Amino acid sequence: MKLATVRTEDGLRAVRVEDGGYVDIGPGDVGELLGREDWQAVATAADGPVFQVEPSRLAPVVPHPGKIICVGLNYRTHITEMGRDLPEFPTLFAKFPEALIGPNDPLLLPPESDAVDWEAELVVVVGRRVRRADRVTAAAAIAGYTILNDVSLRDWQFRTREWLQGKTWEATTPLGPCLVTPDDLPADAEISCAIDDEVVQKSTIGDLLFDAADLVIYVSTMITLNPGDLIATGTTGGVGHARKPPRYLRDGQTVVTRIDGIGELVTPVRRAGAS
């Protein structure tokens, strides 16, 4: 099953994704839907007509998560290209909800940076309250998966040893297009990122060092995870900062972030203030 959040004139609505369109589930976004214990039954039972939605009307699938936990250095290929050893524990940082944009919204390059980079990522969407999970409980707490591009301002990120200031700029992080329940996502699904049709990242989610359940276990040891919380699992090799010479996003480009079985983010890149 696939779920999405749609912008309407009357506010956000959760929808079920079907071949050829969407079926309305009800008012509120997918994050609010996940707050119901019976969310799966409610989503499955929705039986209204299939309708069309303009791509620009798709909102971040969970627009207002309580937490966005991000993992750095979690694909072996990316760890190698950044010149680091395989970590013993996940490297964590955070984003804030204000960083999120929809799956087809434009990315406005902040004027404060000339080093805006791309990072295609699989995202775990939490579906039930969980604390100090074991592996069985962690797996059961995963409502599904979506896609995020962890757009990073490298010049700000590496000003200090802490990464937060380069990772959570407002309106820079596309999320969506939908939530896919675990049974509909292949364990070796391909993940990729393309800039103007040039594939710059390509791997499979099977290359993750710490998998989804590992991350739910680790994070829930520290803090309670709630429905709608997000865990971005890290990016694969091919980021612009690791290239020689480095490459960064420019005005006029289009970034397509894709995971087979989920869909894609199509992100036009524009310089803030450019006509």
The stretches of 5-164 forming alpha helices (DSSP H) are 30-34, 39-45, 76-81, 135-140, 154-157
Alpha carbon distances (Å) from 200 to 41, 70, 119, 169: 39, 21, 10, 23
Please, which pLDDT band fits residue 245 given cuts at 50, 70 and 90?
Answer: very high
Q: Answer yes or no: is pLDDT of 228 > 60.
A: yes
Q: 121 and 100 in contact (C-beta within 8 Å)?
A: no
User: For position 274, what pLDDT does the model report?
Assistant: 54
pTM given for the model: 0.95
User: For position 275, what pLDDT does the model report?
Assistant: 46
Q: What is the average pLDDT across 4-19?
A: 96
User: For position 77, what pLDDT does the model report?
Assistant: 75
The token pair at 197 is: 């049709």
**Alpha-carbon dihedral 102, 62, 180, 145, rounded to 10 degrees:** 100
Peptide linkage before 245 cis (omega within 30 of 0): yes
Q: 89 and 132 in contact (C-beta within 8 Å)?
A: no
The token pair at 239 is: 């980021």
Q: Which CATH class is domain 62-271?
A: alpha beta
Average pLDDT score, the chain: 95
In tens, the pLDDT along 127-179 reads 999 999 999 999 999 999 999 999 999 999 999 988 899 999 999 999 999 99
In tens, the pLDDT along 74-128 reads 987 777 777 778 889 999 999 999 999 999 999 999 999 999 999 999 999 999 9
